[in-house]
Structure 1
Amino acid sequence: MKRLNQYKFDFFIILGFLLLPLLLFGDVTLGGKTMLPVDNLFQWQPWQSAAASLGVGAPQNGLILDLIIENYAWKQFARETFLAGDIPLWNPYLFAGVPFLAAGQHSMYYPFSVLFLVLPLSAAYGWYTVSQLWLAGVLMYVYGRILGLKRSSAFLAGLTYQGGGFIVVSAAVFPMIVGAVPWLPLLLGCIEKVVQGAKSRGQGQEDNNQQSTFNNQLLTGDTQTLTSTPESPILWIVLGAVGLGMQILAGHIEYTIYTLLVMGLYGAWRLVRVTGWRWEGVKGGIRPFFSLSAMVLIGLMLGSLQLVPLYELADVNFRQESATFDDVRGYAFEERRVLTLLMPNFFGNPAHHEYRDVLNGDMVPFETNYNGQPKTNSEWGLKNYVEGGIYLGILPLFLALLGIWTGWRSGNVRRNQALFFGGLG
């Protein structure tokens, strides 16, 4: 009971991470509204014929169209199939039929997707988003505490992560992304604990060698109280494997690749730090290396429920080899996009349909662009939202720069952390 009492503040902090998501998405959870952009449907028949009578004009945000014409259709099909007592392996409603569960982005293997089965779909998207933003905050808080941050600092890190521009914008249209992103802090935390355990085992062995004569004169129970017992890595290997499995089942393979890359870089950096940049220290890094390898392997095995059929499906996908390497390189952000790190609306906003006339103060709707072509929003030049959104927020950028600066001025541990995350960014 005493051990539980020391975590009571953490319990309240974990509950506190619900506050920001509910403030951001209160209308679509507690307010009776929906995240589904139904107005986008009125661009096509049969809905288009009723648009005028219902007073529906241009969509509020055409960029989030996929949520209603794609993701909603997936969830509805899966829901109907499961509730009918069947498994949605095959979708007969596209062309002559296509594999369904193998495709992945439906996220139906992801445990949090149970919300789409037990709640009306119009409400499920809001609560799912809140659950994932809450999870992002909690897992970043856990990672901060593992790094030795105070509760207040770790709480601020969690708030910043769960409210970052990228994850909030992704929530508007890509449930599979907002489900995949929260798990990275937990995975980094598990890597950190495995490496820390290896370091403490090395230190513990050194202490034991120095005190072996004295310890041999004591009872076994007394010896255990006088010498530190290194923490077993098994718990963190299991947690990391489950976290990686959940990340995979969330259903966005690109973010799985990004996650594995960051995990690999972080793990390699921490192992190098354990060895002390000396060949003699390599022996101390062997055990954590195999522990981390086991964590990743087990995680991939847990995610293989989705990975294996996805690989088989991708091998026969019509998009295979449809783009050259140069085409893919062309998808990279242009240099001018760096402006949107500070000014997300510099190239316009697809949800802004009016502008204020600076002479008379009236709001004027967008009707045409400079060339006289029809245009109903302010977006120009670049797709700077959804997939193109890189705005994190002023607070995250400020805290990142502050962390790098203070870390550099601190001791070796903080300095190395600042160098790693600064370089990663």
Structure 2
Amino acid sequence: MMSRIRMSALPALILALLPILLLWRVVFLGEAFVPADLQRDIAPWRQAADTHLLPWNPLMWDGVAEFYPWRLFLSRSVHAGYLPLWNPHQFCGTPFVGNSQSAIFYPFNCLFVILPVTAAFGASVLLHLFLTGMFLYAFLRSSAFRLSRSAALAGAVVWQLCTWQVSWLALPTFLCVSTWLPAALLLTQRFADRPTRARAALLGACLGLMLLAGHLQICLYCYLMIGGYALSIALPSARGRSRIALIAGAALAVGVMVLIGAAQLLPSVELSRMSHRAGGAPTWTGYQGYISLAVPAYHLVSIFAPDFFGNPTVGSYWGYTNYAENAAYVGVPALLLALVGVIAGWRPSKPVRFFAVSAVVAMLVATGTPIDTILFFGIPGFAQTGSPGRILVLWSFCAAILAAYGAQGILSQLREAKPAALIGRASGALLALLAVTMGYTLWWINKNAPSGALSTIFATEGDLWRLPVGLLFLTAILLYQYQTGKLTPRIAGGGLIAVLALDLLVSGMGYNRSTLATNVYPTTPLIAFLQQHAGTDRIMPVNTSWSIDPAHPPRAILPPNAAMVYGLYDTQGYDSLFPGQYMAFAAALNGDGKPPAPQENGNMVFTRGVGSELARMASARYLVSREPLPDNDATISQVYGGDDGYVYEDKSAAPRASVSDGPNRLNLTLDNTATQNIVVNDQWFPGWTARFNGSAAAITHGPQVFRTITGAQQNAGATAHLEMRYAPASVQVGLYGLCLACAILAFMLTPSRDRRF
């Protein structure tokens, strides 16, 4: 009995150990899983004026520039007794809940409240990697596949450590969504096996968690796979009353999903309609821009060698767009197993056929084939998503499932009469695929890349292939020893899992960055000066450009969202969703005829209109610059100068006489207020209400992007009080839906409800 228990617990132990090995610096050295070392090349944290310290990775920068400030803001607000719906620190104020990646309702983000934020990032990654591995292991052991422990664990390891997962770990919402994909498929299978109310409700809860997790694009991809799988296994075999039961259960699951996700989904939809990404119907021009970000065909060689085009962490990446956008490596041994799985299970297994077809479709979408046209123009909101390459999450997931089925086929058939045919056909298919992709890639490089690129590749070709070839050779020895009876099935399965894990650990262990917790947003003398003097007035860092070139970090100072960390208020901002009106306002504020968003990143807004009337209206009292500003305005004077930058005070800036009572409230005490309208120089957005001396007052839009309080009746010489609250109806309705969903779940999960429809 004890031996059986130990064997049952072994997969969980392995799936817990592998993420620890991947993040060993975080676990054993106490480092923060935040790429904060990238700050060392940007002012005011830059340590040396002319020394380039680290390879620049603009995508990984989002981990320290967006997610760290957002999670820290959430933690501080909750500790102060507030759930942050509004962010007063960026864009002259902007909705916080409407940005889906703030994920303030995602239950597992309580880690950022319970633990120090620097520690919570690593804890969240470790937890979610463990959960997603266990979920896939359970799915592969379920009635859908009925795989052995070794084969199921092999698939779980491939999914847990594949390059797609590892490449996006710095942006936690990607993993938080993909974690629940195998769980949702498992619950879908269980409901199809026995359609009860409880199982339908649990499936809906899992789908709702994916909405709350924060990345709507990845969530949409996962929903497409879950829906396709449900249709492939349920409806074809259902008849009459059974089909009605399945439809009723699906309706219950979707209802619970919508009610749970409404708290996040409704504010996000409201903001997206008014955001900088909003627009009319999808256009052909927009589609061409979307397709331009697809994975090029010559990049598919990275399926066999993930670093064929270099690695951004060491500064050698020269491929198209970003490394993570093209991440498709699941391991060469895993790819061989996946081909074995397709060959062995194509005819007898309906799930194998589904996931094999899904893998091909996902790869076709990622590479920008005409299938994208259907998605882009046929699914509402799809045109506002990111690059097509992110659907490689489904490719990686399908490859992991097929690899597990292949491992099962090899371990169960290798000792039969003709096992060589199975492995031989898979090896031939693998070699053919390698020859085609490698040949095309080398042809493209020779034709399009700079001179010398091809010779450089040939010079490093041995390094690129040493690991996968060595692991394939090791796999061959392992299988030969098993075939001849020198290894037991248990040892052979364990060796196969070790090969898969070693391959992916070696390729992924050096990609992500971590740093000492004390080095995440350190306070420099310039920042200390601003914290001491700025108060509630706004700062305006004067930034003009950004960079996606790994050899040249941005020449910027105090980049967007840093103000959130230091408790400052900023006119600039960086967010995947923010009010589109602010983009137009920033363009007018700058007054230089150039877009306020840098060409390299359309989600950033820079405000650089030094001394402009709109900057003063926005209370931009303190101007921050890398270099000295021209002395051409008598009202602007330098108040700080040091190695980390310069600060100027604009004494003509309008005071931001607002006292915050939490992120969602403003309380103002006004003296000598005559009967007139009151302008509050914080951004207008639906959902704000006002009370003037205890009576309701109207809020109108303007001037510019700001708010005007009308109906403020007050005699001159008296003291008045203005209170403003942000409580949008979309959040209130969503929270009612969330409470209703919890009630439905509590009712449906009682034992009396666990019966068939």
Per the TM superposition, whether the score is higher than 0.5 is: yes
Q: Describe how 1:218-229 pairs up with structure 2 within 5 A.
A: none
Select which of 113, 117, 124 maps to 1:117. 113
Shift of 1:381: 3.6
- Equivalent in 184, 189, 202 of residue 239 of structure 1: 202
Q: Give the residue type in structure 2 aligned to 1:256.
A: C
**In structure 2, C-alpha distance between the alignment counterparts of 1:43 and 1:332, rounded to whole Å:** 30
Q: TM-score, normalised by structure 1?
A: 0.77
Separation in 1, partners of 2:245, 2:76: 48
Query: 1:102 is matched with which residue?
Result: 98
Q: How does 1:4-403 map to 2 (within 5 A)?
A: 9-48=7-46, 50-51=47-48, 57-59=53-55, 61-146=57-142, 147=144, 148-171=146-169, 173-197=170-194, 233-275=196-238, 281=239, 283-321=241-279, 324-352=286-314, 377-403=315-341
What is the CA distance between 1:6 and its match in structure 2?
7.8
CA distance in 1, matches of 2:25, 2:121: 12
Q: Could you tell me which amino acid in structure 1 is paired with residue 295 of structure 2?
A: F
> 3-state DSSP class of the match of 1:30?
helix
Q: CA deviation at 1:56?
A: 7.1
The residue that corresponds to 1:368 in the other structure is none
Other-structure match for 1:421: 355
Quote how far apart the aligned CAs of 1:154 are.
1.8
Distance (Å, rounded) in 2 between the aligned partners of 1:139 and 1:296: 21
* 1:254-308 alpha-carbon deviations (Å, 9 max, x no partner): 0111111111111111124414xxxxx3553231122123212211211111111
Q: CA deviation at 1:14?
A: 2.5
Alpha-carbon offset, residue 156 of structure 1: 2.0
CA distance in 2, matches of 1:342, 1:402: 16
Q: Report if aligned partners of 2:317, 2:323 keep a CA contact under 8 Å in 1.
A: no
**Does the 8 Å contact 1:194/1:292 carry over to 2?**
no
CA distance in structure 1 between the partners assigned to 2:307 and 2:79 by the alignment: 43
Query: Given that residues 40 and 62 in structure 1 are in contact (C-alpha distance below 8 angstroms), is that contact kept between their aligned partners in structure 2?
Result: no
Does structure 2 conserve the Cα–Cα contact (< 8 Å) formed by 1:135 and 1:182? yes
Structure in which a larger fraction of residues adopt helix: 1
Q: Distance in 1 between matches of 2:173 and 2:206?
A: 15
For residues 52-84 of structure 1, give each alpha carbon's deviation from its aligned partner in whole angstroms, at most 9, with x where no partner exists: 69x871246454111111111111111111111
Gaps of 5+ in 2: 360-757
C-alpha displacement of 1:327: 1.7
In the TM superposition, what whole-angstrom CA distance separates every residue of 1:390-415 from its partner, at most 9, and x where no partner exists? 22332432232121111136xx3x2x
Contact 1:347 1:384 in 2 (8 A): no
Instruction: Specify the code of the residue in structure 1 equivalent to 2:20.
Output: L
SS in 2 for 1:42: helix
Q: What is the identity, as a one-letter code, of the residue corresponding to 2:332? A: I
Q: For 1:195 and 1:298, how far apart are their aligned partners in 2?
A: 18
Q: Distance in 1 between matches of 2:331 and 2:199?
A: 32
Please, which runs of 5 or more residues in structure 1 have no aligned partner?
198-231, 276-280, 353-376
Once the two structures are aligned, what percentage of the paired residues are identical? 30
AA partner of residue 97 (structure 1):
G
Task: State the Cα distance separating 1:251 from its structure 2 match.
Answer: 0.2
Q: Residue 405 of structure 1 corresponds to which residue in structure 2?
A: 343
Identify the structure with bigger relative contact order (alpha carbons < 8 Å, sequence gap 6+).
Answer: 2
Deviation at 1:332, TM superposition (A): 2.0
Deviations for 1:56-114, whole angstroms, at most 9, x for unmatched residues?
71246454111111111111111111111122111111121000022110223222211
| CA deviation map 1:286-335 (0-9, x unaligned) | 31122123212211211111111111111100121397222223222211
Structure 2: which amino acid aligns with 1:284?
Answer: S
Mapped partners of 1:7, 1:292: distance in 2 = 36
Label 1:402 to 1:282 Cα distance change in 2 as closer, same or farther (>3 A). farther
Q: Is the 8 A contact 2:201 2:252 kept in 1?
A: no
Letter of the structure 2 residue corresponding to residue 346 of structure 1: F
Contact 2:103 2:213 in 1 (8 A): yes
Once residues 135 and 201 of structure 2 are traced to their aligned partners in structure 1, the CA distance between those partners, rounded to angstroms, is 16
Q: Structure 1 residues 311, 62: closer, same or farther in 2, change over 3 A? A: closer
Which region of structure 1 is more displaced relative to structure 2, 80-89 or 151-160? 151-160
Of the structure 1 ranges 120-129 and 145-154, higher mean CA displacement relative to structure 2 is found in: 145-154
Amino acid at match of 1:28: V
CA distance in 1 between partners of 2:259 and 2:77 (Å): 26
For 1:175-207, what per-residue CA distance to the aligned partner results, in whole angstroms no more than 9, with x for missing partners?
00011001111111111122222xxxxxxxxxx
Moved over 6 A (4+): 4-8
The structure having more radius of gyration, on CA atoms, is: 2
* TM-score, normalization by structure 2: 0.44
RMSD: 2.4
Q: Deviations over 1:111-149 (max 9, x none)?
A: 221111122222221111110100111110111121222
- Partner Cα distance (2:322, 2:70) in 1: 26
Aligned residue pairs, count: 353
Q: 2:602 matched to which residue of 1?
A: none
Could you tell me which amino acid in structure 2 is paired with residue 143 of structure 1? Answer: F
Q: Distance in 1 between matches of 2:247 and 2:6?
A: 34
Post-superposition Cα deviations, 1:4-41, rounded to whole Å, max 9, x if no partner, equal 99877444432432110111112112321222112211
Verify the 8 A CA contact 1:39 1:59 in the aligned structure 2.
Answer: no
Shift of residue 389 of structure 1? Answer: 2.0
- 2:422 aligned partner: none
SS at match of 2:230: helix
Cα pair distance change 1:390/1:112, threshold 3 Å: same
Report SS of the residue matched to 2:180: helix
Give the letter aligned to residue 18 of structure 2.
L
